[in-house]
Amino acid sequence: MIKRTLKVNGIDRMVLAEPDTSLALVLRENLGLTSVKVGCAQGQCGSCSIILDGKLIRSCTRKWAKLKDGAQITTLEGIGTPGNLHPVQMAWIAHGGAQCGFCSPGFIVSSVALLAENPSPTREEVRDWFQKHRNACRCTGYKPLVDAVMDAARVMRGEMTMEDLQFRIPEDGRIWGTRYPRPSAIAKVTGTWDFGADLGLKLPQGTLHCALVQAEVSHANILSIDTSEAEAMPGVFKVVTHKDVKGRNRITGLITFPTNKGDGWDRPILCDDKVFQYGDAIAIVCADSDRHAQEAAKKVKVELEQLPEYMSAPAAMADDAMEIHPGTPNVYYIQKVAKGEDTRPIFDRDDVVIAEGDYYTQRQPHMPIEPDVGFAYQDENGKLFIHSKSIGLHLHLFMIAPGLGVEPENMALVQNPTGGTFGYKFSPTMEALVGAAALATGRPVFLNYDWYQQQTYTGKRSPFITWLRMAASRDGKLLGMETDWTVDHGPYSEFGDLLTLRGAQYIGAGYDIPNIRGEGRTVCTNHAWGAAFRGYGAPESEFPSEVLMDELAEKLGMDPFDLRYANVYRKGSTTPTGQDPEVYSLPEMMDKLRPKYEEARKRAAANSTAEIRRGVGISIGVYGSGLDGPDTAEADAELNADGTVTIYNCWEDHGQGADMGSLGTAHEALRALNLTPDQIRLVMNDTSLAPNSGPAGGSRSQVLAGQAIVNACQQLVKAMTRPDGTLRTYDEMVAEKLPLRYNGKWTAPANDCDENGQGNPFCCYMYGVFMSEVAVEVATGRTTVEAMTIVADIGKVNNFLLVDGQIYGGVAQGIGLALSEDYEDIRKHSTMVGAGFPYIKQIPDDMEIMYVETPRPDGPFGASGVGEMPLSAPHAAVINAIYNACGVRIRELPARPEKVLAGLKG
């Protein structure tokens, strides 16, 4: 142990800690300064940034033994408080800088250090600073953060006031359609928003720390598991294996398609007979400290019989490949698409122009800054409570309850304040593990993945291998499309069939293609399991069709813009599923973009040199809001004794702003009550307290949960309204024995697709038109995205601060998908840098959003969703821009420099 006396946030503190403990953990665990977040723990994310003796450092890489006595430390707690915000914190709120909020403390501390050194930075100097200090954000696309620093600097120089940054509610009192800050903003910018790991420090004495014993091969039979040596280690309470799980020891994938050849019970909670992928959980060590648990986990002996590892769909489809799940073929689901006439005669005609190609979208990792974390306990009545990052609370409850041997009514799931998930938490990850550990030990248990575990044992975007061809008349009218797609969904079937269906729904989306034929398939492999990722099927499906549209335009001798404009949805058009689009705004959106496109093309031509080639690319992105067919959500509204209203829902939040979505929708629905926003209370994301609003996926929440909120509020207002139109008070409602709480329910007017992919799966869609401006360095093949322009129609906008951030962040992830991100090599791609995480200098500061707000007939107050649209197709615009710049056509992502360079040389 080493003792040091430090001056922390201006106060002398004596601290005793082990020499090899990181400074970040000392600040968090010894001093309770939980604004210091631990994300990667490798100095690659900046969430642990503090100021040490006047210099900005990442505290996760500084060992306690290296700290000098008397060192001066400033954390976010010493910069500002909820009642006394620093200008940087106020600016962060004003510009929506805190989305999920996990990286916000590190960024704010970093910004304060920057402004102390340089009170008048340029935007590029701010970007250089964040790049140098490895401040990473996965949510915002960085632009709002730079905006915030620039305004904070103006306040600190006396050119603006704090009041100038504060939101002012309009005179009519309406917050719908404004930039009203999310309710959690103050807590997030002051570090008082407790994420899962912060709550873990506040669990009661006797809580057990969990460490997983995980597979280090991708496919094997388990011959034996010996826990005896581990159980004898200091501090170990119990080592939990499959033998301790009382239920089926399986997580059900809730297979709903009758053509699926599996049964959905293929994913073990704890491996019993086999290992199916690298990182699979084999045992859980439960001990009195994390250190003891980790040390004991190394002592669990697992004897394996290595089996062939099928790390790609083609390998698993080979004739000699064994069945990964015995009894279920590796190709376990087939999806057809058949629209209009037979396409073969069209492609045989002499008067058509045909373009075709093979395309690949990779296994994109979600890379949240906050690793997966959760805990579980049984309450005084024996009910099992599981707290996690789940974005599908009721869904996950029913997926894991049979496996744990617990009746659903004896279990509750609660979402902790959550650092971005971007979809990976649509699948249960650790929920069943902590549940099993709590049941087996009878004690509260806590499990926090490190970033290596986050990367190696959570789901990824499933790779698509797609062949596609299109036929058009010589004047550019699309006549037919044929396609074949293969989905590498990893070893577990959950949602794999639904993902494969997305190929039928979104390949060619946005265009009036009268005749389509195709087939897709879901393949079981031994690589990382396929999980939902923002866009869920659209980035994989729209990439090939959007790149092929450019290739077809070249064959026709047309501008890619003009070919798209001639074929986008108009009255009389139908989607690939044969559905009439609910709105026809794409021509207007393209009209809005056209002058900017023409200017960008001229600019690229004027600024290209022999060394740097510049180009412009466009794409169209389409996505539905919902989970196919008659999707349903519920929410409650309750009148309180003081005249305020409480909204209850499970609109899960993974950084997108569910609190503000709920508040904005409820406030608009309750306008008759003349409430201020702070008179609406939110009780969210606890299955024991709130009804089933459905999972936060498929950009469904604003539409489905939003409509349920509206319905509940309308019922409440109707009950409060007397025949003369005046409103009853709470006391009058009680006196008249009228209910105070109302359950709102809404079901989408949609139907499931048939075996040929035809139907009306979604009542609301989102539309985006993307333009990318890139520079390609001829000597290296390195591509830089210099600007992105997005025209978005997401219906009427609930809150511009939120949707701006969603679009910037989604586009940034699309740039990563286009150029750098991958999880193919398990070792190489297990770190942020190795997996191609885009830092601020990889994302352009020049990003512009233009809105076309076409009211949706079935959306609450005309709103549609937003989250998926910005990642539906921006990567295709980047790839098309690369070709426009230098003539290199990339069909397999990511377009790393060596790939572009090979094309230049070829």
Between CA 687 and CA 387 the distance in angstroms is 11
> What is the sign of the dihedral through the CA atoms of 853, 855, 861 and 867?
negative
Between CA 375 and CA 284 the distance in angstroms is 13
* Other residues' Cβ atoms within 10 Å of the Cβ of residue 442: 12
* Other residues' Cβ atoms within 10 Å of the Cβ of residue 417: 20
Quick check: 530 and 488 in contact, CB under 8 A? yes
The residues, ordered by sequence, that sit 6+ positions from 712 with a Cβ below 8 Å of its Cβ are: 635, 636, 637, 647, 742, 743, 744
Between CA 690 and CA 638 the distance in angstroms is 12
From residue 711, alpha-carbon distances to 599, 636, 795, 861, 864 in Å are 46, 9, 19, 12, 16
Cα angle 86, 90, 91 (rounded to 5 degrees) comes to 115
Half-sphere exposure of residue 157, counting CA atoms within 13 Å on the CB side? 12
Candidates 323, 868, 892, 898; catalytic one: 868
Quick check: 141 and 809 in contact, CB under 8 A? yes
Helix (H) or strand (E) holding 281: strand 281-287
Quick check: 42 and 84 in contact, CB under 8 A? no
Half-sphere exposure of residue 308, counting CA atoms within 13 Å on the CB side? 12
Between CA 366 and CA 246 the distance in angstroms is 32
Quick check: 842 and 878 in contact, CB under 8 A? no
Which DSSP string do the residues of 288-354 spell out, in sequence order?
A: SSHHHHHHHHTT-EEEEEE-----SHHHHHSTTPPPSBTTB-SEEEEEEEEESS-SHHHHH-TTEEE
The question of whether 868 is a catalytic residue gets the answer: yes
Torsion of CA 848, 854, 858, 861, to 10 degrees: 80
Token pair, residue 800, equals 């511009």
Residue type at 55? K
Would you please indicate which residues are annotated as catalytic (active-site) residues? 868
